[in-house]
């Protein structure tokens, strides 16, 4: 029996009438989960993002892609500096809190980096960035940032996102 005999493939052409199918197909790619923070006049703004990726080692660049229709978009569009925090499985409650409330971190005593960006401690990794470019990407934008500083912890499992659910990936 071949692999093709055991699986069903749903072939479709993405359009406005089947965006749920496309979203589900995108969800088949397991990703890590991040929280991006920025300083605003109202305090710390935070957003969850699974659209994070490394881009370059020299210069050190990363990207992430916020939704232009998000109520949080304006905070990150205006920010010159931001921090991307790679979450561990022990931070799933924090992830859900930020997903529900842009100001979920407001009452936390967060350290601010040299650029004034509030940063979370205890993440698997943190990338403190200066926004260097923004590219149109349909209903999202692609934000490119140069990494000014990075931090990482040695232990812990990453919080993963797959098929619309949070989970755990354990390295062997």
Structure tokens at 148: 């000014």
> Is residue 1 domain-resident?
no
Residue 41 CB neighbour total at 10 angstroms: 7
Domain hosting 64: range is 37-163
Q: Name the one residue in this structure whose structure tokens are 């990338």.
A: 127
- The dihedral formed by the CA atoms of 51, 130, 147 and 65, expressed in degrees to the nearest 10: 10
Q: What is the pLDDT along the chain (172 residues), one digit of tens a residue?
A: 445 556 777 788 888 888 888 777 777 767 789 999 999 998 999 999 989 999 999 999 999 999 999 999 999 999 999 999 999 999 989 999 999 999 999 889 999 999 999 999 999 999 999 999 999 999 999 999 999 999 999 988 888 877 776 777 766 6
Please indicate, yes or no, if residue 172 is contained in any of the structural domains: no
Q: 128 lies in a domain?
A: yes
Please state the domain count of the chain: 1
| Residue 32 maps to a domain | no
Q: What is the pTM of this model?
A: 0.87
The CATH number that applies at residue 104 is 2.30.110.10
Task: For residue range 18-37, list pLDDT tens digits in order.
Answer: 888 877 777 776 778 999 99
Helix spans in the chain (H)? 3-6, 19-26, 73-78, 92-100
- In a domain, residue 46? The reply is yes
Q: Would you say 104 and 46 are in contact if contact means Cβ atoms under 8 Å apart?
A: yes
Rounded distance between C-alpha atoms, residue 60 and residue 33, angstroms: 20
Q: Indicate whether 30 belongs to any domain.
A: no
**127 within some domain:** yes
Query: Is residue 27 in a domain?
Result: no
């Amino acid at each position: 029996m071949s692999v093709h005999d055991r699986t069903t493939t749903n072939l479709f052409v993405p359009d406005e009438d089947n965006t749920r199918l496309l979203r589900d197909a995108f969800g088949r790619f397991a990703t890590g989960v991040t929280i991006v923070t920025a300083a605003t006049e109202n305090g710390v703004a935070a957003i969850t993002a699974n659209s994070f990726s490394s881009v370059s080692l020299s210069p050190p660049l990363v990207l992430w892609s916020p939704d232009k229709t998000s109520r949080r978009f304006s905070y990150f569009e205006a920010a010159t500096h931001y921090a991307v925090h790679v979450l561990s499985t022990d931070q799933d409650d924090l992830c859900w809190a930020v997903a529900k409330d842009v100001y979920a971190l407001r009452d936390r005593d967060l350290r601010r980096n040299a650029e004034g960006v509030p940063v979370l401690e205890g993440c698997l990794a943190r990338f403190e960035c200066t926004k260097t470019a923004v590219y149109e990407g349909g209903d999202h934008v692609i934000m490119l940032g140069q990494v000014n500083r990075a931090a990482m912890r040695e232990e812990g499992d990453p919080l993963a996102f797959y098929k619309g659910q949070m989970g755990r990936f354990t390295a062997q």
